[in-house]
Amino acid sequence: MHGYKEPLRIEEVSAPDPAPEEILLKVAATGMCRSDYQLLDGYFKGPFPVDLPFIPGHEVTGRVAGLGSAVPKSVGYSEGDMVVVNPSWGDGTCRQCREGNEQLCSGNGRWVGFGPPGGFAEYMAVESRHAIPVSESAAKAPELLAPMTDAGMTPYRGMKKIRDTGKLGPGRIVAITGIGGLGSYGVQYAKLLGSGATVVALARKDSKLDVAKENGADYGINVRDKSTETIQDELEALTGRRTLDAILDCVGSNASISMGFDLLGPEGVLAAVGLMSNHVEHKQFPFVGMELSYLGSFWGNHMDLVEVLSLAEAGLVKHNVTKVKLEDINENMEALGRGDVVGRQVIVFE
């Protein structure tokens, strides 16, 4: 990356020298996320300024290619071991880090691909404590491991927050808005954690609703160019109710958040994990008068990632992954920006 709103350039650079506490990783696969497109487009220019030229890519898995001199022997890494990279590197000293939420570090936190060089490259360096080893069986498909570090982990944390509000269970209806990289996993977590809740997918393309249904959604509604009343009519025809108990919003646009609050019933909860818009609006009286809740949920912590990797290895998570080549990165990045990608595109190096 040589500048904002510029195409990425494929260049030869030196492999990084790992610091004493780092491992050198030979990248096997790196997922392509809409936030990578947003980084290039300047969305994160304020909160995550980068020193150019810069290598993005935050959904990374790879094999150990070298160990820094201070990497503890107790980690047990050997050359060739496959590891998954937890992308959030907190400073380890603030309250959030000490609680285990390094993705919320209020000190000198760093996020791979948004500061430290990322995985759109053949090699990268990572602190050993942020590398999670996987089984030999899981290592056979690195393209399925890489997306779990964001697309798989982020909606999982959001759905756990919804579960903890008590809005899931028999007789409840939970919706997933936006069936892209995150939403395709989100509908599965709604089923896994929902305790019998009805799961409804809301998207703007029928092809994405088809994916949601394949992944366990009970119903799907195409919301493109439809009024709230029309969506409620379809919801009532499908479920017998015109309102929702909870929403996991994987879009984060002004339109999706506004629509979500209009669809929530009394004491409804909306958890937002998407980041499409900089600002969102909703009406104040329904929010207060119906005692609605609005939860932010950012990425996930180390244990969230360990949990989703375990669910995936147990065969409880379905992946919608397309393997792509590094040389096609700009074409695929543009498709991400247009919202044309169903599931996750993953650059495979092995």
Q: Token digits for 260?
A: 């979500």
Would the pLDDT of 350 be above 80?
no
Note the Cα 77 to chain centre separation in Å.
27
Tell which residue, 73, 80, 60, 339, has the closest CA to residue 203.
Answer: 339
Would the pLDDT of 313 be above 90?
yes
Would the pLDDT of 49 be above 90?
no
Q: What pLDDT is recorded for position 215?
A: 96
142 and 61 in contact (C-beta within 8 Å)? yes
184-196 per-position pLDDT tens digit: 999 999 999 999 9
Q: Which of 146-155, 190-199, 270-279 has the lowest mean pLDDT?
A: 270-279
Would the pLDDT of 82 be above 80?
yes
Would the pLDDT of 278 be above 90?
no
User: How does residue 307 score in pLDDT terms, banded at 50, 70 and 90?
Assistant: very high
Would the pLDDT of 339 be above 90?
no
Q: What angle do CA 12, 16, 21 make, to 5 degrees?
A: 165
Distance (Å, rounded) from C-alpha 183 to C-alpha 224?
17
User: How does residue 256 score in pLDDT terms, banded at 50, 70 and 90?
Assistant: very high
Would the pLDDT of 22 be above 90?
yes
Query: What domains are there in the chain, each with its CATH number?
Result: 22-151+300-348 (3.90.180.10), 154-296 (3.40.50.720)
Query: Measuring CA to CA, how many Å separate 68 from each of 16, 72, 91?
Result: 12, 9, 19
Scanning the structure block, which residue is given the tokens 């993953």?
Answer: 346
Would the pLDDT of 303 be above 90?
yes
* Mean pLDDT for the chain overall: 95
3-state helix/strand/coil string of the chain = CCCCCCCCCCCCCCCCCCCCCEEEEEEEEEEECHHHHHHHHCCCCCCCCCCCCCCCCCEEEEEEEEECCCCCHHHCCCCCCEEEECCEECCCCCHHHHCCCHHHCCCCCEECCCCCCCCCCCEEEEEHHHEEECCCCHHHCHHHHHHHHCCCCHHHHHHHHHHHCCCCCCCCEEEEECCCCCHHHHHHHHHHHCCCCEEEEEECCHHHHHHHHHCCCCEEEECCCCCHHHHHHHHHHHHCCCCEEEEEECCCCHHHHHHHHHHEEEEEEEEECCCCCCCCCCCHHHHHHCCCEEEECCCCCHHHHHHHHHHHHCCCCCCCEEEECHHHHHHHHHHHHHCCCCCEEEEECC
| CB-based contacts of 321, cutoff 8 Å, min separation 6 | 143, 144, 147, 343, 344, 345, 346
Q: What angle do CA 83, 335, 317 make, to 5 degrees?
A: 40
User: How does residue 47 score in pLDDT terms, banded at 50, 70 and 90?
Assistant: confident
User: How does residue 176 score in pLDDT terms, banded at 50, 70 and 90?
Assistant: very high
Q: What pLDDT is recorded for position 162?
A: 98
130-147 per-position pLDDT tens digit: 999 999 999 999 999 999
Would the pLDDT of 183 be above 90?
yes
